[in-house]
Amino acid sequence: MQDKEHLSVNRLILEDNLEIMKTLESESVDLIYLDPPFFSNRNYEIIWGDEGEIRSFKDRWSGGIDHYIAWLKERAELMHRLLKKTGSIFLHCDWHADEYIRVDVLDRIFGKKNFRNHIVWWRTNAKSIIVQKLGIITDIILFYSKSNLFKPNLLYSEISSAQLSRYKQEDEKGLYRYENLTTPGRARQFIWRGVHPGENRSWCFSEEKLEKLYDQGLIVLRKNGQPRKDGLKKYLDDNEGSVLNNLWDDTDRVGNTSKERIGYPTQKPEALMERIIKMASKGGDVVLDPFMGGGTTIAVADKLNRQWIGIDQSTMDVKVTEQRLRKQNGHFEVIMMKPNIEKIPA
């Protein structure tokens, strides 16, 4: 049994993630994001680098779903050990195996009580010819915490065009919409500035609060000077958007013409990773990606001032990630390689 290694962060590791995770100390990581092979049984082709070099990799499992789940479960058990009690894990998958992963891997290891969300990422609106089934335009992200000590950061989604269209009025403070000052019920039925809320209607606020809103210029008046019952001003600048839900339909995949594109076929957008990292960690926390691939998680974690560890057994993936980091900030701390592989030149 190897001694557990004191956590050294900000490094890329070229090695089998199983062997590396065995050496890391328990409860030393705040957030794990993994985008493992999808059990898609496909071959992928990667075009990367200035010379347009073509490489390929296989996502094939000759032993079937049982082999795939056993392989993933062994690694998920180590990830559970590495996470702090306040930590969380986001596992990215698709329809090929999502139900197996949730029931046979994550529920058993992290516990059903620590399941947080089944996030649906609408990755593309591309249309295809449908013959025997509906088109597949979503991926799944399974979100679990290590324990009930995990506290997410509250995030808001952007204001939709439908919401924006409601802000039809404008004054010197900006765009605003009308909101009702009354609500069903009879709790606050009094005449305020000559206006009654209506039969079986109640003011939303006390008379003192209504007067304060009036003095702040937040009540729209009728021509006769009386307040409108639907006249509470709500300004666009005060709208933070809707609290984030589990349908993420505002972050497209990395398109062919995107500036982010590095030629990696399963590359995820930086905006997707930024959302996860901001939601589940804070500055200085440790982010682990044990299936680093093209390095998007690591690049975004570095931008957001998180500490990070990226692991992949592909020399190409480590090199691509190194190049991204050097282009992004000119340096990074450590590369740890297999002893028999030379360090990638700068």
pLDDT, tens only, 264-305: 767 899 999 999 999 999 999 999 999 998 899 999 999 999
Stated length of the chain: 346
183 strand-pairing partners: 202
pLDDT digits 0-9 by tens, 6-40: 567 888 888 889 999 999 999 999 999 999 987 65
Q: Which residues on neighbouring strands pair with residue 139, listed in sequence order?
A: 121
pLDDT at 337: 52
pLDDT of 4 over the 70 cut: no
Helix axes 270-280, 296-303, angle to 10 degrees: 60
**Strand ranges inside 133-268, DSSP E:** 138-145, 169-171, 174-179, 182-184, 201-203, 219-221, 227-235, 247-248
Q: How far apart are CA 265 and CA 45, in angstroms?
A: 7
More confident residue, 129 or 93: 93
pLDDT digits (tens, 9 = 90+) for 158-205: 777 777 888 999 999 999 999 999 999 888 999 999 999 998 999 999
Angle of helix 315-329 relative to helix 296-303, nearest 10 degrees, comes to 30
Residue range 11-157+242-336, CATH number: 3.40.50.150
CA angle 76, 95, 320 (to 5 degrees): 60
| Cα separation of the two ends of the chain | 35
Domain boundaries, the chain: 11-157+242-336, 161-238
Q: How far apart are CA 203 and CA 197, in angstroms?
A: 6
State the pTM of this model: 0.75
Distance CA 332, CA 125 (A): 36
